[in-house]
Amino acid sequence: MTLHDRSRYGRYTGGPDPLAPPVDLSEALDAVAEDVMAGYSPRHALQEFLRRGGRNRDGLDDLARQVQQRRRDLVGRHRLDGTLDDVRKLLDTAVLEERKQLARDAMMDNTDRALREMQLQDLPASTAAAVNELASYDWQSRTARDAYEQIKDLLGREVLDQRFAGMKQALENATDQDREAVGAMLRDLNGLLAKHRRGEDTDADFQDFMARHGQYFPENPRSVEELVDALAKRAAAAQRLLQSMSPEQRDELMRLSAQAFGSGELMAQLDELDGNLQALRPGEDWSGSERFDGQDGLGLGDGTGVLQDLAELDELSEQLSQSYNGSRLDDLDLDALARQLGPDAAVSARTLAEIERAMQDGGYLRRGADGDLRLSPQAMRRLGKSLLRDTARQLSGRQGQRDTRLAGAAGEQTGSSRAWEFGDAEPWDVTRTMTNAIRRTMADGGNPRPGLRLAPEDIEVAETEARTQAAVVLLVDVSFSMAAEGRWVPMKRTALALHHLVSTRFRGDRLELITFGRYAQSMDIGSLTALPALREQGTNLHHGLLLAGRFFRRHPSMQHVLLVVTDGEPTAHLLPDGDSWFNWPPDAETIRVTVAELDRLGRSGTLATFFRLGDDPGLERFIQRLALRVDGRVVAPDVGGLGAAVLGEYLRAHVRSTYSDADWF
């Protein structure tokens, strides 16, 4: 195989990479869920993530800043008199070369030479006026004549480049035949657009036009509407370019345009084209302007291209803002983004759009009965798994009881076995027992084929674990102080991690989530996760304990486990008529009924743990006394360790043998 036969590989440019891995939603889901737990709506939380971006990915705000920076660079780097400068240089060259020729030409009549010198000496200061005055001048210098003809050629190519990108380069060194072909294209184009304005054109008209003149339209439009769109954007940019010039510059260029290709027909055709396009696309910006204050001069064609870039940047800025009704990232023009900011920016935007699409259409957000978006059960499971994994890392260094695995009691087999001990009632592990007997017999020189005689040391029993089923209540304080002190989101993360642990690892357990503020109520995990911070006063632990007792009575055969998370003493209790009584400092009756309800749970064998948040001495004394009444425990974690503390206490209450935390995660 020769060198030329070898395959060459590069970046894939045909749209989304078909071999790219699916977009990773874990970071987006974590960020959205964090904001949802902080009280934002899922829609707002998703929009905020898309604006911020990820750890290694630009967000919408980053892209918008790049768009604005490119816009500032364009207007700060350029000025619009590049064509005037080029014409002035060619004019100076022509005049200088003509004067040299006049000085060298000894055969010329002195009177004629003097008249010519006077005409060149008295040229107007205006470049346009000087060029027009020399239109009929009989040049003696070939070099001067060529320079002047270049002015007409340059102007023709520039005014065409304003309407048709790339025409300036395409017509360089063009012949008269080439220029006539352009004139024929303009006449046919105006004829097609005039018919289209009247509604008389057909697809055959368009196809015939493209067959004859398609080389002038690299955009390869597929219909007359696409053709009009492309031409109107360019023509509108050309108008904005003229309006961005100073009045003097604009007047100079308009007067110079009459010399384009040395023929007035070109400008007449272009004026007719502008009229057709403005009538067909009145919504384009035909009257805007920009302020340029840079040093790099732009010609008419390049300047029009810059104005088109600015318009495209403005459209991208609006798309990236996502501030209009019904906005979605699918609206982003990725091709335009790649043109203006490069392929990496387009990749970032495409990834953000895929994240938005996957979150909304992939089942992670769903519309509730009230019409609002909510985290779906699928999203809750994924988030719970992530939170449980994080909590496991915190638990990994802690010691304590985790799960009941009692050998010697009938229960669920673990898949392990151990040597039989006197008094064991577990079933034998027959396979391991027979294997042990065969090995022992052969080691003693015997033959196991005729039969085996078992010895006590051969016997292994299947190890089981006796798991106590538990009815668990997580009672969480949702008074305003929880949100004000930064404990709102950690509380929700804790509930979600516990919910995921129970629903995936301890399916025989029953979990009830109860919130208590001015009133208490049972909540599913989705409602608790989306619960906004409440500004009502009141810590009605009494009502929460009543609901916990009701839940425990529905599961009399299970071990009752009560986990209470609070940062304040009870300041409210439930009255017989269902109203909530609130008072600060805590009323004696509030304390009495709260303690009475806790005592009732304690008498039924409830294992209680209180998680005290904050360092208030009064709360510390009160919680300690509550725990003593029911032989419970008090844990005072910092906010960051709340989840590990609650899950650790749940596992401690649930088990009777020591196993490492890693066994469960």
- Give the Cβ contact number of residue 371 at 10 Å: 6
The HSE-up count of residue 411 (CA atoms within 13 Å, CB side) is 15
Q: How far apart are CA 562 and CA 631, in angstroms?
A: 12
Distance of CA 660 to the CA centre of its chain: 39
Q: What is the pLDDT of residues 77-101, one digit of tens each?
A: 988 888 889 999 999 999 999 999 9
Segment (H or E) for 311? helix 300-321
**C-alpha span between 567 and 107 (Å, rounded):** 111
**Helix spans in 55-163 (H):** 60-77, 82-104, 110-121, 127-133, 142-163
Q: pLDDT (tens digit, 9 = 90+) per residue, 108-142?
A: 788 888 888 899 999 998 888 999 899 889 999 99
Lowest mean per-residue pLDDT among 22-36, 263-277, 528-542, 594-608: 22-36
Q: Among residues 632, 578, 583, which one has the least CA distance to residue 605?
A: 632
59 with 378: CB under 8 angstroms? no
Domain ranges across the chain: 81-291, 412-465, 470-664
What pLDDT does 396 receive?
60
Say yes or no to pLDDT of 636 above 80.
Answer: yes
Q: In which element (H, E) is residue 415 found?
A: strand 412-419
Assigned superfamily of 470-664: von Willebrand factor, type A domain (3.40.50.410)
Work out the mean pLDDT of the chain and round it to a whole number: 83
- For the record, the structure tokens of 567 come out as 């940062």
Residue 259 CB neighbour total at 10 angstroms:
23
> Cα–Cα distances in Å, from 625 out to 56, 260, 591?
51, 98, 12
Beta bridge partners of 516: 477, 520
Confidence (pLDDT) at 422: 63
Distance CA 295, CA 539 (A): 69
pLDDT score at 660: 38
State yes or no: pLDDT of 259 exceeds 50.
Answer: yes
Distance CA 345, CA 336 (A): 10
Cα distances (Å, whole numbers) of residue 590 to 11, 574, 593:
71, 8, 6
Beta carbons of 646 and 472 less than 8 angstroms apart: no
Give the whole-angstrom CA distance, residue 141 versus residue 96.
Answer: 10
- pLDDT over 50 (residue 563): yes
Contact, 539 vs 572, CB < 8 A?
Answer: yes
**Does 212 score more than 90 pLDDT?**
yes
pLDDT band at 368 (very low <50, low <70, confident <90, very high): low
Contact assessment for residue 470 and residue 558, using Cβ atoms and an 8 Å cutoff = yes
Kindly report which listed range (149-158, 448-457, 544-553) carries the lowest average pLDDT score. 448-457
Classify 560 as helix, strand or coil.
Answer: strand
Tell me the two tokens of residue 322: 């996502």
Q: What is the pLDDT of residue 399?
A: 42
Asked if residue 497 lies in contact with residue 459, where contact means CB atoms within 8 angstroms, the answer is: no
Q: Is residue 252's pLDDT more than 90?
A: no
Between 378 and 454, name the one with better pLDDT. Answer: 454
Residues 266-294 pLDDT 10s: 888 889 999 999 999 999 999 888 888 88
Structure confidence at residue 663 (pLDDT): 45
Crossing angle for the helix pair 224-244 and 300-321, nearest 10 degrees? 110
